[in-house]
């Protein structure tokens, strides 16, 4: 991998997501050689993927080139690589571009879509975890409308214009709202010769309310907003199968060419850890983020499961635990290199937010629950502050201000047509732990 030999402690970080990036930025690079590895040369701001998928933002404004964040930093190295296995006995990682030894390793690989073992759904559903997937979805939505315009078969047209979203968490709710806005305010201008009233957005949720984890007030408000936008809500409904056309549920049969799976994630594990170190598809860590059984291997963010009395199933798989763990671990590793003790991680819950559309958002902040314009402004402010890079903040702001006045989601482009999932694409890449 062409990393220079050094007498410093080599700290290897796998993943430049919210957690890995925070850690890499705050690690002391005088005492340590820091190597950051990611599959991509950019950081993805996942909370706004749905806006890319629904033509609200261009992909560049939610991605940030990793190298630009570490310009001229000494003892820092970045490599684009896919880490395939970890040899915990030899302290070495194996990647598609070569092997690398480490003194300390941090796994910050985030999570991947969880299809709960249903290979047929995995083969036929769209997921939205990466920028290429969001772009595929954008293309598919627009391609379907173009096809609907050409067919004389009403059943086929309806199926092309039916969009089923599975999962009533923040991702599903935000996506349903954005598709509802496209239908109600944008598409009739683009397709005057297509009856856009035929288009239907269905949101399927297995529980009895949307936004589990949010307050009752926020979830009731989100439900009202979506119903007002003509989104069909199917609560207490489970999708059992999907063959690319027929959506089999326990309540209502639906037919749709597009099903978007937003019903769960699981830790993006790498081969090489013993069984004891894995719990619920995540790496089991202690309060210092050390992986069970290892003093020098750590995990942070979505892939890490830190069980405590308050969080018996680990922290929620959202950005804040990853960011806070990244920062705490940076301080702890800096302490260690100066022979100072580490401090336990304590999560500070900053609340939860979801936006459904223009002036329509819900926000639970501490014991207060907001909705409407004020919550929407909070949502915009928080996302602008959190986006990485000044240019991205400005582009997003300009887009949102323009859309506020014109309702126009201007990135309705099929740059790279979507032709379905590649046949040879492996499904169900699950990590078999070592026994």
Query: DSSP letters of 145-171?
Result: HHHHHH---HHHHHHHTEEEEE--SHH
Candidates 265, 161, 162, 150; CA nearest to 204 is: 162
Contact at 8 Å (CB) between 128 and 50? yes
Count of residues that bind ligand FAD according to CB under 6 A: 34
52 interacts with ligand FAD by CB under 6 A? no
122 interacts with ligand FAD by CB under 6 A? no
Question: For ligand FAD, which is the closer residue by CB, 106 or 160?
Answer: 106
- Please state the closest distance from residue 219 (CB atom) to ligand FAD, in A: 15
What does the alpha-carbon distance between residue 404 and residue 398 come to, in Å, rounded to a whole number?
Answer: 10
- Please state the closest distance from residue 57 (CB atom) to ligand FAD, in A: 13
State which residue has the least CB distance to ligand FAD: 17
49 interacts with ligand FAD by CB under 6 A? yes
Of 11, 12, 13, 20, the one binding ligand FAD (CB under 6 A) is 20
129 interacts with ligand FAD by CB under 6 A? yes
37 interacts with ligand FAD by CB under 6 A? yes
319 interacts with ligand FAD by CB under 6 A? yes
Catalytic positions: 174
305 interacts with ligand FAD by CB under 6 A? no
Strand order in the sheet with 200-204: 232-234, 200-204, 162-166, 258-261
Query: Hey, is 295 helix, strand or coil?
Result: coil
Question: 338-341 long-range contacts, Cβ below 8 Å, gap at least 24?
Answer: 338/31
Strand-pair partners of 212:
214
Over the window 163 to 182, marking each residue x when it contacts ligand FAD by CB under 6 A and - when it does not, the resulting string is -------xx-----------
- Please state the closest distance from residue 323 (CB atom) to ligand FAD, in A: 8
Per CB under 6 A, the segment of 8-16, 290-298, 334-342, 420-428 that binds ligand FAD is 8-16
Query: DSSP letters of 73-113?
Result: -TTEEEEE--EEEEETTTTEEEETTEEEE-SEEEE---EEE
Question: For ligand FAD, which is the closer residue by CB, 302 or 364?
Answer: 302
Per CB under 6 A, the segment of 106-114, 199-207, 337-345, 397-405 that binds ligand FAD is 106-114
56 interacts with ligand FAD by CB under 6 A? no
Dmax (CA) of the chain: 74
Per CB under 6 A, the segment of 34-42, 212-220, 241-249, 398-406 that binds ligand FAD is 34-42
260 interacts with ligand FAD by CB under 6 A? no
Over the window 64 to 83, marking each residue x when it contacts ligand FAD by CB under 6 A and - when it does not, the resulting string is ------------------xx
Contact at 8 Å (CB) between 8 and 29? no
Contact at 8 Å (CB) between 35 and 115? no
List Cβ neighbours of 323 (8 Å cut-off, separation of 6 or more): 18, 19, 22
> Where along the sequence are the contacts to ligand FAD (CB under 6 A)?
14-20, 37-40, 46-47, 49-50, 82-83, 108-110, 128-129, 170-171, 268, 270, 301-303, 317-320, 322
């Amino acid at each position: 991998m062409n990393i220079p030999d050094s007498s410093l402690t080599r700290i290897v970080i796998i993943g430049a997501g919210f957690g890995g990036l925070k850690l890499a930025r705050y690690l002391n690079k005088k005492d340590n050689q820091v190597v950051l590895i990611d599959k991509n040369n950019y950081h993805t701001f996942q909370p706004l993927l749905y806006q890319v998928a629904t033509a609200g933002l261009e992909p560049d404004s939610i991605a940030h080139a990793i190298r630009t964040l570490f310009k001229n930093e000494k003892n820092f190295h970045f490599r684009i690589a896919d880490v395939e296995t970890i040899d915990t006995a030899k302290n070495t990682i194996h990647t598609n571009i070569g092997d690398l030894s480490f003194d300390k390793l941090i796994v910050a690989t985030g999570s991947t879509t969880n299809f709960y073992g249903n290979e047929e759904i995995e083969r036929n559903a769209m997921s939205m975890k990466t920028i290429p997937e969001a772009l595929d979805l954008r293309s598919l939505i627009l391609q379907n409308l173009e096809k609907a315009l050409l067919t004389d078969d009403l059943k086929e047209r309806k199926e092309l214009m039916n969009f089923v979203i599975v999962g009533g968490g923040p991702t599903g709710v935000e996506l349903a709202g954005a598709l509802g806005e496209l239908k109600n305010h944008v598409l009739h201008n683009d397709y005057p010769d297509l009856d856009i009233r035929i288009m239907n957005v269905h949101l399927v949720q297995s529980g009895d309310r949307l936004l589990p984890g949010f307050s009752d007030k926020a979830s009731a408000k989100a439900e009202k907003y979506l119903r007002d936008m003509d989104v069909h809500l199917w609560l207490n409904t489970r999708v059992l199968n999907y063959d690319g056309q027929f959506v089999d549920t326990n309540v209502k049969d639906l037919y749709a060419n597009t099903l978007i799976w937003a019903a769960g994630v699981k830790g993006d594990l790498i081969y090489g850890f013993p069984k004891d170190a894995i719990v619920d598809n995540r790496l089991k860590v202690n309060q210092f983020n050390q992986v069970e059984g290892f003093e020098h291997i750590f995990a942070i963010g979505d892939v890490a499961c830190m069980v405590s009395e308050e969080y018996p199933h680990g922290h929620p798989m959202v950005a804040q635990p990853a960011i806070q763990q990244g920062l705490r671990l940076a301080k702890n590793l800096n302490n260690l290199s100066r022979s100072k003790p580490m401090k336990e991680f304590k999560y500070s819950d900053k609340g939860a937010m979801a936006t459904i559309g223009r002036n329509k958002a819900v926000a639970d902040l501490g014991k207060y629950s907001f909705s409407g314009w004020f919550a929407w402004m909070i949502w915009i402010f928080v996302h602008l502050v959190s986006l990485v890079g000044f240019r991205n903040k400005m582009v997003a702001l300009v887009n949102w201000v323009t859309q506020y006045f014109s309702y126009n989601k201007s990135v309705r482009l099929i740059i790279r047509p979507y032709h379905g999932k590649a046949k040879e694409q492996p499904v169900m890449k699950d990590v078999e732990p070592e026994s």
